[in-house]
Amino acid sequence: MATVILFPWRSIFFGRISISAFISLKSSIRNRKNIFIGKRIHINDFVVLWPSQLSIGAYSQINPGTAIYGKVTIGKYVMIAPNCMLAGANHSFGDRNTPMMFQGSFSKGGIVIEDNVWIGANCVILDGVTIGTGSIIAAGSVVSRSVAPYTILGGNTAKIIRIRT
């Protein structure tokens, strides 16, 4: 219950956040009003949250060095290992006469991570991907397509290793 005493300011700065959530003061958070966090969430040091919309279900964990951008929905009991990138948006680049930096961004629908998913260290999850319930993403994988429930993926670009039984 120490988080209640140490972090009472959270209800002021965030849209909706459970009082039992832990968010490290060493994390970087923007667009706070677009973040919705369930109970017993653990967001560790040096996590970067710059979402257009972010929802995190109960008992999920985001480890150091992970960055989350764009529209992302994370289910319950999700483990995200260190140094992952969840990019729920893309830069626009259609006008060759305008620097890409000034062309804005677009999304293919964001990222959806369903319940009970384990994402290994140094993974990249791209916009438009849904990771099914109970899936495991091996360390160092790049996920550019949706993942069926209870699938273990690995590699760059990620391929099915096996189905969990």
Q: Count the Cβ atoms, other than its own, within 10 Å of residue 29.
A: 17
How far does the chain reach from its first CA to its final CA, in angstroms? 37
Is 91 marked active-site? yes
Strand partners, 72: 54, 111
Which tokens is 6 given?
């140490």
CA distance 100 to 110: 20
The one catalytic residue in 91, 145, 159, 164 is 91
CA distance 144 to 101: 23
Count CA atoms closer than 13 A to 160's CA, side-chain side: 11
CA distance 80 to 126: 15
* Residues belonging to the active site: 91
